[in-house]
Structure 1
Amino acid sequence: MARPRKPLLSRERIVETAGALVDAEGLDAVSTRRLAAELGVSGPSLYNHFRNKDEILDAVADALSARIDLSMFEEGDGRDWREALHDWAVSYRAVLADHPHVVPVLARGPGRRPAGLRVADAVFGAMVRAGWPPAQATYIGALMRYFITGSALGSFARGFVDDRDVYDSGDYPHLGQAHLLADRQEQVDEGAFETGLRALVDGLALQFELVRSAPKGR
């Protein structure tokens, strides 16, 4: 029998299959045995590409990091650091919103993941070029990751049930409309994210003016 022109297995195919499995069933659904069955190969063949499950999940997370728009941080893009930070955060959250089960892996930080490190490098470099001291630029990168990944870990609106009787006015006088939140999840969660993001960027802008007006060497 002639050998197939394309290899049966590749890193890309493993990552794609693992990502689909995580999206459908969550991180716990991924195992080398399950992946091998999904791919129609023997379990040991996966180890020609990845040493273990954690490496596979890291690769899935890095594939998502590669989808985050970084164009706003390129020199010559034209957006100032405030607008760039805002637009990047919106892009980042959009990627996470489409793949929420991967958020816990991304929330651990980039580690050795190339695309994740490119994200961190782009944010830090843009903030330093804008005039932030390196230490403050590091804090901004950390702050934004906390905020963005935190916003994607769960839904505020989904935390309320749609049963009006749960919110008795005698016990909860201000939650008379809480039963409507679940049906307005996207509006509430996106509105909350944008409100928080604007508050963060506006607050950083105030700090930036203090940094710029501080005596040199302080």
Structure 2
Amino acid sequence: MARPRKPLLSRDRIVATALALADAEGLQAVSTRRLAAELGVSGPSLYNHFTTKNEILDSVADTVVSQVELSMFTDGTDWAGALLEWGRSYRAALTAHPHIVPFLAQGPGRRPAGLRMADAVFGGMVEAGWPPAQATRIGALMRYFVAGSALGSFARGFVDDASAYDPADYPHLGQAHLLAEHQQQVDLGAFETGLRALVDGLAIQYAALAEPAGEKTAGRKTTSRKPTG
């Protein structure tokens, strides 16, 4: 039998094409009509593999999340080190595909890779001794922080025209026009600063969890009211 002129349509091929389209032109460019044209097929043929456009986007988002490393939560790394490693891997995956971040930020829903990530983080924190409620908050906090850092560039928010920032109006922005030139250094440095501050703050809370009740009471300053009247 002669080979078909075009590769057979598959879920993986649809998802890869949708992700490439989103990366190149933004999420708004991903429509079933455009996908069908890119794949060289008729629109209805997509529905043999996906029921709706949102189902395609779910799979695209899950493909991105599947690139995030999770082994640090099971390989014996301490919880703080695991959060640092995971946060960096998570951001790397999202910054490689920033246009999918707003859709992905809606939550894991039923996405397998997203649910595996949520399970790994929650399980790792609980195993380390965090109360379940706080472990949930830590996972949410990290997601807010990482997704926010991947949505855009702080450095590229400033134009590279020195005359745009008149010192009479902005006395502290004399070097702001140089930020875009150092985008990666500025943005990654800001992320690392925030990530370490976040984990260091959690470490203080974690130490307080293990502190005996008597020591907590002894460590507090006490105040007494003067009698009135």
Which TM-score band applies after superposition, normalised by the shorter structure? over 0.9
Provide the residue aligned with 1:45 in structure 2: 45
Alpha-carbon separation, structure 2, partners of 1:211 and 1:108: 31
1:110-189 to structure 2, matched below 5 A, reads: 110-189=108-187
Is 1:26–2:26 an aligned residue pair?
A: yes
Alpha-carbon separation, structure 1, partners of 2:73 and 2:16: 28
Secondary structure of the residue aligned to 1:67 is coil
**Most deviating of 88-97 and 1-10:** 1-10
Structure-1-length-normalised TM-score = 0.94
Residue 164 to residue 5, structure 1, CA distance change in 2 (3 Å): closer
Using the aligned pairs only, state the percent identity: 75
Alpha-carbon separation, structure 2, partners of 1:3 and 1:165: 61
Provide the residue aligned with 2:71 in structure 1: 71
Q: Which amino acid aligns with 1:201?
A: V
Give deviations 1:135-178, integer Å, cap 9, x for gaps. Answer: 00000000000000000011110110111111111111111100
Alpha-carbon separation, structure 2, partners of 1:80 and 1:62: 27
Give deviations 1:190-218, integer Å, cap 9, x for gaps. Answer: 00000000000000000001112254xxx
Q: CA deviation at 1:78?
A: 2.7
Unmatched 5+ stretches in structure 1: none
Counterpart of 1:195 (choices 177, 193, 196) is 193
Provide the residue aligned with 2:17 in structure 1: 17
Q: CA deviation at 1:3?
A: 6.9
Q: Which amino acid aligns with 1:166?
A: A
Give deviations 1:47-80, integer Å, cap 9, x for gaps. Answer: 0111111111110000011110001011xx1310
Alpha-carbon separation, structure 2, partners of 1:44 and 1:214: 64
Secondary structure of the residue aligned to 1:108 is coil
Alpha-carbon separation, structure 2, partners of 1:162 and 1:6: 46
Alpha-carbon separation, structure 2, partners of 1:171 and 1:185: 24
Structure 1 segments, 4+ long, off by >4 Å, are 1-7
Counterpart of 1:96 (choices 91, 94, 109) is 94
Give deviations 1:2-60, integer Å, cap 9, x for gaps. Answer: 57499711100000010100000000001101101111111001001111111111100
Alpha-carbon separation, structure 2, partners of 1:206 and 1:110: 29
